[in-house]
Amino acid sequence: MGKKIIDVNEADIEETGFFCYMSKKKTIGYKNKLEWLKSRFSEGMKLKILGEGKRGVIEYIPGEHAWRPVKAEGYMFIHCLWVVGKSKGNGYAKELLNECIKDARKLKMKGVAMVTSEKVWLMSKKFLVLQGFESVDKAPPSFELMVNKFDNSNLPSFTGNWEKKAERFGSGLTVIQTDQCPYIDDAVKLVLEVGKEIDSECSICKLESSQDVRDLTPSAYGTFSIVYNGRLLSYHYLTRKDLLKQIGK
C-alpha cells in the first residue's frame, strides 16, 4: 500500500507530478509550473499530495517567499489547498492542513496564513475558521487573509494600493501572470486574442519573483490579473463575451 500523504521534492517531482494538470503534461502551463516549483524548493516550498488513489494537494512556503501580495514574514503561507472529486468530505483537507501546521511549528514560525475567497480557486473561509483560523485583513472584492497564529507576534497583512498598482500599467490591455498556476495559460491566450480583436495595445507582465508579486500585482489573488487602461478588470478567467463586456465593447 502506498503512502497516505506523499511529500514531493525536486528529485521526484517529474515522476510524481504536482496534482494539477496531470493529464496535460505536454502543455506549456504544466511545464512552466514544473520549472516554477523546482525553483521554489530551495526557498522552503513544501508540496504534499494525497496517495493511495486519493485526490488532493497542499502547497506552502515561508511567508517571505509567498507568491501572494502579502506581508507575512515569519509565517508559513499556503498557496493552495485543494481536495476534489470523491476524496472530498473525508477529512483529507484537514489532514493536509495539519501537515503544514506541524511543519510551521517545527520551524518555530509565528503561525500559518492563507488568502481565501469564494470566487476563485482558493479554500473557503468557512473551512479555515473551523480549523482555528481568523480573518486579519480584507481586500476587494471578496478576499480575506486568514491566520492561525501560534503566539502574539505581529499579524500579516495585504500589501494594498490595488488601484495605484493597476494605474501603473497605463493604456491598453495588460495580462499580469505568474507560473504558479498551470491553468491560466489558456486565459492569457484569450485575453491576447481579444486585445487583437479590438485593436488594443496588448502586453504581458510576467511576475518573476515573490517580490514582483508584492510590488506589482493589482489584486489580492496575485497569480493572474487583467488590466485595461489602468483599471483592474478581473483576477480570474473570463469568457470572451464577459471580457468584451468588461472592456465596454
Can you read off the three cell numbers belonging to residue 224?
A: 493572474
Which class in CATH covers the domain with range 5-158? alpha beta
More confident residue, 61 or 195: 61
Sequence ranges of the domains in the chain: 5-158, 162-247
Phi, psi of 59 (to 5 degrees): -130, 125
Question: Are the C-beta atoms of residues 204 and 188 closer than 8 Å to each other?
Answer: yes
For residue 121, the model assigns a pLDDT of 73
Q: What angle do CA 211, 216, 221 make, to 5 degrees?
A: 90
Tell me the per-residue pLDDT of 71-101, one tens digit each, with 9 for 90 and over: 999 999 999 999 998 998 999 999 999 999 9
Residue type, 202: C
For residue 124, the model assigns a pLDDT of 85
For residue 2, the model assigns a pLDDT of 53
Fold exhibited by the domain 162-247? Glutaredoxin (3.40.30)
C-alpha neighbours within 13 Å on the C-beta side of residue 188: 18
Report the distance separating Cα 132 and Cα 140, nearest Å: 23
Report the distance separating Cα 92 and Cα 113, nearest Å: 19
Tell me the per-residue pLDDT of 220-240, one tens digit each, with 9 for 90 and over: 999 999 999 999 999 988 899
Q: DSSP state, 210? A: H
| Ramachandran bin of 160, using left for φ above 0, alpha for ψ from -120 to 50, beta for the remaining angles | left
More confident residue, 103 or 52: 103
Beta-carbon contacts of residue 148 (< 8 Å; ≥ 6 apart) = 101, 111, 112, 113, 128, 131, 132, 133, 134
Peptide bond into 141 cis (omega under 30): yes
Report the distance separating Cα 186 and Cα 111, nearest Å: 35
Helix or strand holding residue 11 (H, E) = none
